[in-house]
Amino acid sequence: MNNFLEVTGIDLIPYAIGISKFGSSTPFVPTNFSDIRKKVQSLDVKKLDEALKYSKELLDEESVRGEKTESKAYNLIGVTGVSAAFITGISSLFPKESQTASSLSLTILLVSYLLIVISLTLTVLLASRAVIVRSYTHPDIADVFLMESRSLKEIKIDRLTTYMYCYAKNFQTHNIKVSYLIGAQLWFRNSIIIFLILAFILISNFLGSATINTQLLSTPTLTLSQTQSAVFVTQTLISSSATTQSTNTIEPTETPTPFPIVTSSATNISITITTAP
- pLDDT value, residue 263: 43
- pLDDT value, residue 214: 62
Report which of residues 94 and 62 the model is more confident about: 62
**pLDDT > 90: what percent of the chain?**
46
Contact between 133 and 125 under an 8 Å Cβ cutoff? The reply is: no
Average pLDDT, the chain: 78
Query: First vs last Cα of the chain: how many Å apart?
Result: 118
Contact between 66 and 174 under an 8 Å Cβ cutoff? The reply is: yes
Contact between 120 and 80 under an 8 Å Cβ cutoff? The reply is: yes
Check pLDDT > 50 for residue 171.
Answer: yes
The torsion angle over the Cα atoms of residues 165, 169, 175 and 178, rounded to 10 degrees, is -120
Calpha distance 125→57 (Å, rounded): 33
Check pLDDT > 60 for residue 99.
Answer: no
Distances (CA, A) of 108 to 9, 86, 114: 21, 19, 10
Sign of CA dihedral 60, 66, 72, 74: negative
Check pLDDT > 60 for residue 141.
Answer: yes
Backbone torsions φ then ψ of 253, nearest 5 degrees:
-115, -10
- pLDDT value, residue 237: 44
Classified as helix, coil or strand, 84 is helix
Mean pLDDT of 180-203: 91
- pLDDT value, residue 3: 85
- pLDDT value, residue 102: 63
Under 8 Å CB-to-CB from 171, ≥6 apart: which residues?
Answer: 24, 26, 27, 62
Of 74-83, 116-125, 197-206, 268-277, least confident by mean pLDDT is 268-277
Report which of residues 80 and 262 the model is more confident about: 80
Mean pLDDT of 29-52: 93
Q: Which residue, 35, 39, 25, 53, is CA-closest to 171?
A: 25
- pLDDT value, residue 146: 84
Distances (CA, A) of 180 to 2, 6, 23, 257: 19, 14, 11, 115
Check pLDDT > 90 for residue 73.
Answer: yes
Q: Is the pTM higher than 0.75?
A: no
